A and B are shown apart, each in its own frame.
Chain A
């Protein structure tokens, strides 16, 4: 077990070093990184100053080591839009993106598990066909388009849900952290919770569209795999009810590969909310990055890319360790 954990952690570190290397390569893609880190209004003096301060006049290998050392301290330079460390600005936006991705993930699971199981147990019936057609349609639909249609119908048409933002004006003062929804839930502040929930629904449905469709298909195929196993037949032969057979015996075994896939899906959701955040003016990391792109605020872009890659690696590491805990075959393989 220890060997497995150590090996898996080492692997994560190697991936992180690779991520830093590619970020470094992107920074040097044009051959003049100093120009990238400066606004257009910068003077020749600014240029020379940043060049020597960031060490861009040093040999490339030395620069890489320095870059790596700074990345390890999460130092990606200073945003020249806000004159604050780029990573601080990105971290401030993390709660918004995190809540959006988590709610999207929960919606995806809430759809995928029952629908996928129902599809598998009612294979080749009208239920199965309807579910799989919907999943296929979901996988074919651009989510930014769905987002706009949701706004058109539920916000502009029916006037049920707001079009943008995380909480209503004045409500955010009720929260101490940036996690409005979770804080509202845990502190039992229903005003905060209800307001945040109302605003997260449309963006979360939009962000979770593709995951819902893919996970539904995956739950179905994993269930179909285990439903034909001997132990399922044995469980049925023992006279257990179909509900127990499906929801206990089959689901438990189908669940193991699903944990890995769900972990990957959550990681993808965290890094894949740019489009949704743009559509709903959701003040998360994605929207921040788009704005940084428009302002040529390169330090912020680099910090955002690195932070989300780091989160993806950590989430997957945790999922893999969880997987090993669930399935002893992995540890000793």
Chain B
């Protein structure tokens, strides 16, 4: 049994309270910020759209009815089929395709942000903590990747490997990791000088322990901020790659892909290109609003 006053009895509760109150604090801050709340609602709606696509989409997104192609929004066919956003060049229901396309966009974007975050976090911490020539090498590596014209680099990689979901993720990660690496390196440099890190080193803690226990928690915040600020950028990049025809291939539609296909019909059926673009813009706007709030809430000084 525990002695009265034993810290281990009290501490877990205290810690839980602190954590719930931090979450509650964040929640209250979000509720106060109307723009961020608006962004959060958009984001939640898009995520719901992706998760529940089969229930939300009125029709099968791949069902082609060629003689019902390129019909304008709000058309009611004799068959009873009603197309809110019109049909595409092959007579597929545009709304259903846009609903399903949210899946690829979200999966690719969040995976790419996570992958690049992990790479950037590791390289940033290593560069910042070890310093000297390791730092110099890592930072030149960052410069090299920044110098590449991103879209052309993506094209040249796809030219070699062919398009696939993993290639798209890797290509985006090649661009975005450098942003993390720079910010995390800066945060690591700052954390390294803190008294508690110096104390841990003086007490003989191993380097691995110092990095994992003392440095890492201090660089996670900027990494999270960059992640939220960059999801929007990544969605735009993914859409651009799909628009160019080097995005995720296959039967699943993507917003950029539908838009790219609709380009040829811009003079006769503007809606095919218009609505997927609108979906991209609304989603990115929602993400950016939330991202700005996360930055302001966690650390307003971080610049992406």
Measured between alpha carbons, how far is A309 from B147 in the docked complex, in Å?
A: 5
A19 within 8 A of B: yes
Residue in chain B with minimal CB distance to A310? B147
Residue of B143, B156, B260 with most chain A CB atoms under a 10 A cut-off: B156
Q: Is the CB of B160 within 8 A of A19?
A: no
Given A15-B144, A148-B277, A302-B156: A270 in contact with B149 (beta carbons within 8 A): yes
Distance (Å) between the CB of A199 and the closest chain B CB? Answer: 18
Q: Is the CB of A156 within 8 A of B152?
A: no
B22 within 8 A of A: no
Residue of B151, B160, B273, B278 near A29 (CB, 8 A) is B160
Residue of B158, B246, B266 with most chain A CB atoms under a 10 A cut-off: B266
Q: What's the dominant secondary structure at chain B's contact region?
A: helix
Given A141-B281, A290-B155, A301-B159: A11 in contact with B140 (beta carbons within 8 A): yes
A289 within 8 A of B: yes
Determine the chain A residues whose CB is within 8 A of the CB of B148 once the complex forms: 19, 22, 271, 305, 309, 312
Q: Is the CB of B273 within 8 A of A148?
A: yes
Q: Is the CB of B149 within 8 A of A148?
A: no
Determine the chain A residues whose CB is within 8 A of the CB of B153 once the complex forms: 305
Q: What's the dominant secondary structure at chain A's contact region?
A: helix
B259 within 8 A of A: yes
B59 within 8 A of A: no
Measured between alpha carbons, how far is A22 from B256 in the docked complex, in Å?
A: 28
B197 within 8 A of A: no
Measured between alpha carbons, how far is A292 from B155 in the docked complex, in Å?
A: 10
Given A145-B277, A148-B263: A274 in contact with B144 (beta carbons within 8 A): no
Q: Is the CB of A142 within 8 A of B274?
A: no
Measured between alpha carbons, how far is A131 from B144 in the docked complex, in Å?
A: 34
Contacts between the two chains (Cβ within 8 Å), count: 142
Residue in chain B with minimal CB distance to A273? B151
Q: Is the CB of A18 within 8 A of B155?
A: no
B161 within 8 A of A: yes
Q: Is the CB of B232 within 8 A of A140?
A: yes
Q: Is the CB of B155 within 8 A of A289?
A: yes
Given A142-B277, A293-B159, A305-B153: A275 in contact with B140 (beta carbons within 8 A): no
Residue of A30, A285, A305 near B161 (CB, 8 A) is A30
Determine the chain A residues whose CB is within 8 A of the CB of B259 once the complex forms: 142, 144-145, 148
Query: B238-274 vs A: 1/0 string, CB under 8 Å?
Result: 0110011010000000001001100100110010011
Determine the chain A residues whose CB is within 8 A of the CB of B141 once the complex forms: 18
Residue in chain A with minimal CB distance to B303? A221
Determine the chain B residues whose CB is within 8 A of the CB of A265 once the complex forms: none
Distance (Å) between the CB of B102 and the closest chain A CB? Answer: 15
Determine the chain A residues whose CB is within 8 A of the CB of B266 once the complex forms: 148, 151-152, 156
Q: Is the CB of A142 within 8 A of B156?
A: no
Distance (Å) between the CB of A271 and the closest chain B CB? Answer: 3
Measured between alpha carbons, how far is A18 from B259 in the docked complex, in Å?
A: 36
Measured between alpha carbons, how far is A1 from B260 in the docked complex, in Å?
A: 50
Residues A11-46 near B (CB distance < 8 A): 11, 14-15, 18-19, 22-23, 26-27, 29-30, 36
Measured between alpha carbons, how far is A14 from B158 in the docked complex, in Å?
A: 26
Distance (Å) between the CB of A323 and the closest chain B CB? Answer: 16
Measured between alpha carbons, how far is A101 from B280 in the docked complex, in Å?
A: 24
Residue of A30, A36, A139, A313 near B232 (CB, 8 A) is A139
Q: Is the CB of B244 within 8 A of A272?
A: no
A298 within 8 A of B: yes
Measured between alpha carbons, how far is A14 from B139 in the docked complex, in Å?
A: 11
Query: A98-113 vs B: 1/0 string, CB under 8 Å?
Result: 0000000000000000
Q: Is the CB of A144 within 8 A of B147?
A: no
A278 within 8 A of B: yes
Distance (Å) between the CB of A227 and the closest chain B CB? Answer: 17
B114 within 8 A of A: no
Measured between alpha carbons, how far is A313 from B244 in the docked complex, in Å?
A: 26
Q: Is the CB of B140 within 8 A of A26?
A: no
Pairs A-B, 10 closest by C-beta atoms: A271-B149, A145-B277, A18-B144, A140-B285, A308-B149, A140-B284, A274-B151, A305-B152, A301-B156, A312-B147
A-B contact pairs, 15 of them (CB 8 A): A11-B140, A22-B144, A26-B156, A136-B292, A142-B236, A142-B256, A144-B277, A145-B274, A145-B280, A271-B148, A274-B155, A279-B263, A298-B156, A304-B152, A305-B153
Question: Which A residues are within 8 Å of any B CB, using their own CB?
Answer: 11, 14-15, 18-19, 22-23, 26-27, 29-30, 36, 136-137, 139-142, 144-145, 148-149, 151-152, 156, 267, 270-272, 274-275, 278-279, 285-286, 289-290, 292-293, 296, 298, 301-302, 304-305, 308-309, 312-313, 316
